[in-house]
Amino acid sequence: MTEWHLEHDTAYERKTLILLSLGFGLVGLDRWIIAPLFPFMMRDLRLGYQELGTLIGVLGLAWGVCSIVMGRLADRIGHKRILVGAMVAFSLLSSFSGLASGFGSLLVIRAVMGFAEGAFTPTSVAAVGEASYPTRRGLNQGIQLSMFSLMGLGFAPILVTQLLRVVPSWHWIFALSAIPGLVIAWLIVVFLRDTERTASASAADVVAADPTRWADLFKSRNVVLAMVAALCSMAGIFVVSAMVPNYLIDFLHLAPQDMGFVMSAIGFGGVSGAIFLSGISDFIGRRPVAVSAFVVATAALYLFSITGPSPIRLFVLLFIVAFFSLGVLGLLTGPVATEAAPDGFVASAVGLVSGAGEVFGGGFAPVIAGAIAQRFGIESTLLFAMTGLVTGALVTLTLIETAPRVRRSPCSVRSDGESVVIDCCVQPRKQ
């Protein structure tokens, strides 16, 4: 099937990008503010490090499962309703975290919050992809996905520690976190529109076609490869994010302030990589960028593992690791998944790829790394992370190239394993 869109609404593309980038940034902020707040929560709620790992893991598992399910639902009922409902839900749940009286209630809140954020992720990425002009899709989705790292891993620790100086307790920070999400949800109601296909399709027609088309996702070579590669990327960067703080203090004996400085490289490296790698892949191709990213991230992590207690060198190397590992993750869950999806199943493909990565990388990989650290030493976890990145390089070597510019076509190309769906646009005079 070939669709010809004679006009492209650039203004709507920009509004969608801005709104959903801010929304995804709030997903990262609400997910990760618990980490810098946890030292203060530990005293009040009588929690330990085991509880911290469980709280982070349960959100990742819930996120992954819901991404797979809700991506499919978004293709059936439309993007807008999912986006608004999910944003309202995870914003309110983030504020409810401040009302938790113990580990049990906090665990339930974080799990449900993971479901809401998992619903928002594939739906928002698909909405940005469909609003984008095909040759700008990689850049736009890279900008959107980069906001997770910028706000969640970069600004969150700074924001939280500054707010603690002016608010009575950590409870208030959770309460305040709901406000920006509710504002963005209202703006989505006002400005975002569902695609014509989604809005006009009857529920009966979509449901009747759904079983066959859902199975088509697993026939798509790039969808399956992106799922495996996303597992590898998350196994690398999530293990690093979880274990490196202890590695820096316990193994390299850095001061806590130096550890914080080094760890900030993950947030700022991640945002830079997500924008740059997805953007440059529009010009040189998805496959070479993905393979190169895994290779460079592996090399940088190896150099990191043999570097002594030098905060500046460690910062630079960790920045490079995050730049390429989080950058390739954005590439896989954004442009690669979007262009690999059967027509009308973009959110389903994005949800499947990001969900599979979250279940393993966000849930199981840190647990495995913890067992490795307990038995063989904290430094051994870096070898585990490197193994994931090396495997990712091998997997992405077999990707099918789908970047429109590289294929010398102004069209969006999607391969479903047996056929190729081409969505062509005629370039308007002013973009």
Across the chain, which has 431 residues, the per-10-residue mean pLDDT values are: 56 93 92 76 77 77 84 78 93 90 90 91 87 84 84 77 82 90 95 62 43 69 91 88 79 80 85 86 91 97 94 95 92 87 78 82 77 83 94 94 74 48 43 35
Residue 225 CA to residue 323 CA, distance in Å, equals: 21
- pTM of the shown model: 0.71
352 vs 166: CA distance, rounded Å: 42
Amino acid letter for position 313: R
Q: What does the alpha-carbon distance between residue 58 and residue 394 come to, in Å, rounded to a whole number?
A: 30
Q: Cβ of 44: how many Cβ atoms within 10 Å?
A: 13
Residue-range definition of the domain harbouring residue 356? 10-192+204-425
Question: Burial, 239: exposed, middle or buried (Cβ in 10 Å; 0-12, 13-18, 19+)?
Answer: buried
pLDDT score for 335: 86
Q: Is residue 1 part of a domain?
A: no
What are residue 412's DSSP bridge partners? 423
Domain assignment present for 115: yes
Does residue 431 lie within any of the structural domains? no
- Amino acid 286 reads R
- The answer to whether the CB of 128 falls within 8 A of the CB of 77 is no
Please work out, in degrees rounded to the nearest 5, the angle formed at the alpha carbon of residue 68 by the alpha carbons of 1 and 334.
Answer: 60
CATH number of the domain where residue 323 is located: 1.20.1250.20
Query: Residue 378: phi, psi to the nearest 5?
Result: -60, -30
The number of folded domains in the chain is 1
3 belongs to a structural domain: no
pLDDT at 421: 47
